[in-house]
Amino acid sequence: MEKILEVKNVSKRYQNKQGEVLALQNINLRINKGEFVSIIGPSGCGKSTLLSIIAGLEEKTTGEIYIEGEKVEGISPKVGYMLQRDCLLEWKNILSNTMFGLEIKGNNTKEYKKQVEELLKKYDLYDFKDKYPSELSGGMRQRVALIRTLAVKPKILLLDEAFSALDYQTRIMVTNDIYNILKKEKMTALIVTHDISEAISMSDRVIVLNARPGTVKDIHKIEFEIENRNPINCRESPKFSQYFNTLWKELGVNE
Ligand code: ADP
Ligand code: MG
């Protein structure tokens, strides 16, 4: 299998007023092309820190990150990032918002505009292209944020609690929606969530981290024998509750 991301012996030590915090210690993981992997673990175990390091936004204390075999030094153009806040610009319309990543990169050409418009059409947002973010629902805003991210053609998408601001019903629908788009676009995804169900429903593997310092405790392979699996239909499988119980127990020990 073709490997997209490799994290090798990554540790992170923060300095703060109280002294030093060892946030991550000797993290090793690899993610193959097309794989969806979730990271779960108690609050403060270093999940966001790990994603920021992979994106090149945060410096690591030791170790290396490789994306498609290339060492990540500084902000990586191969990484797309989605946060809890969709970070849409309220004064720009939907088309401008989705073009924004390309503008920053200086790729704001006619050809790219056409590609973005195609994405908007494909994912039912074209009719909203002249509207402003405040006119859209939370779920639609996340879809716009996703298209903006996909427009710059990242090799891997990092999601940090991307759905946690949405209410329960919306979250289930939006997770399903985003999952289907990512699969259609053949993306690779690394998902951080505190929600065990979300992790199981979206992933091929779930990585459990220990708290302080964050280390890899266990890696679970998630498999459902469902044709056209998606986050909603796998919740109905008996295997879903088995995985849930296993992960629940494993996290409980940490609390
Ligand atoms: P998580 O996302 O799993 O909740 P974080 O990655 O945000 O965890 O934080 C991991 C640990 O590192 C926590 O103990 C947190 O207080 C500490 N930390 C995070 N960011 C900073 C920072 N900029 N300066 C100092 N300590 C930090
Ligand atoms: Mg976090």
Instruction: Return the best residue to mutate from 10, 15, 20, 21 for the ligand 1 pocket (most ligand atoms within 8 A of CB).
Output: 21
Task: List helix spans (H) across 36-80.
Answer: 47-55
Residue 194 Cα to ligand 2 midpoint, Å, equals 9
Cβ burial of 146 (10 Å; 0-12, 13-18, 19+) is buried
Cβ < 6 A, ligand 1 pocket? 14, 16, 21, 23, 41, 43-49
Give the atom of ligand 1 at the shortest distance from the alpha carbon of 160: 2
CA dihedral 193, 198, 199, 202 (to 10 degrees): -120
Give the atom of ligand 1 at the shortest distance from the alpha carbon of 209: 3
Question: In 179-221, which ranges are E strands?
Answer: 189-192, 205-209, 216-221
Residue 22 Cα to ligand 1 midpoint, Å, equals 9
Q: How far apart are CA 160 and CA 58, in angstroms?
A: 14
> Is the Cβ–Cβ distance between 16 and 178 less than 8 Å?
no
Question: In 102-215, which ranges are E strands?
Answer: 156-160, 189-192, 205-209
> Is the Cβ–Cβ distance between 38 and 59 less than 8 Å?
no
- Residue minimizing CA distance to atom 10 of ligand 1: 46
Cβ burial of 168 (10 Å; 0-12, 13-18, 19+) is exposed
The architecture (CATH level 2) of 3-78+156-254 comes to 3-Layer(aba) Sandwich (3.40)
3-state SS class at 80: strand
Residues 6+ apart with CB under 8 A from 164: 84, 171, 193, 194, 195
Q: Which ligand is nearest to the CA of 47?
A: 1
Domain boundaries, the chain: 3-78+156-254, 86-153
Give the atom of ligand 1 at the shortest distance from the alpha carbon of 41: 3
Neighbours of ion ligand 2 (CB under 5 A): 48
Residues 6+ apart with CB under 8 A from 36: 179, 182, 188, 189, 191, 202, 203, 204
Q: Could you list the pLDDT tens digit for every one of the 255 residues in the chain?
A: 799 999 999 999 999 888 899 999 999 999 999 999 999 999 999 999 999 999 988 999 999 999 999 999 888 889 998 887 888 999 999 999 998 877 766 666 788 888 889 999 988 999 999 999 999 988 899 899 999 988 888 999 999 998 888 888 989 998 999 999 999 999 999 999 989 999 999 999 999 999 889 999 999 999 998 999 999 999 999 999 999 999 999 988 544
For residue 24, what pLDDT is reported?
Answer: 97
For residue 253, what pLDDT is reported?
Answer: 53
Instruction: Return the best residue to mutate from 12, 49, 255 for the ligand 1 pocket (most ligand atoms within 8 A of CB).
Output: 49
Residue with tokens 């996340």: 142
Q: How far apart are CA 134 and CA 91, in angstroms?
A: 9
Residue 158 Cα to ligand 2 midpoint, Å, equals 12
Give the atom of ligand 1 at the shortest distance from the alpha carbon of 192: 2
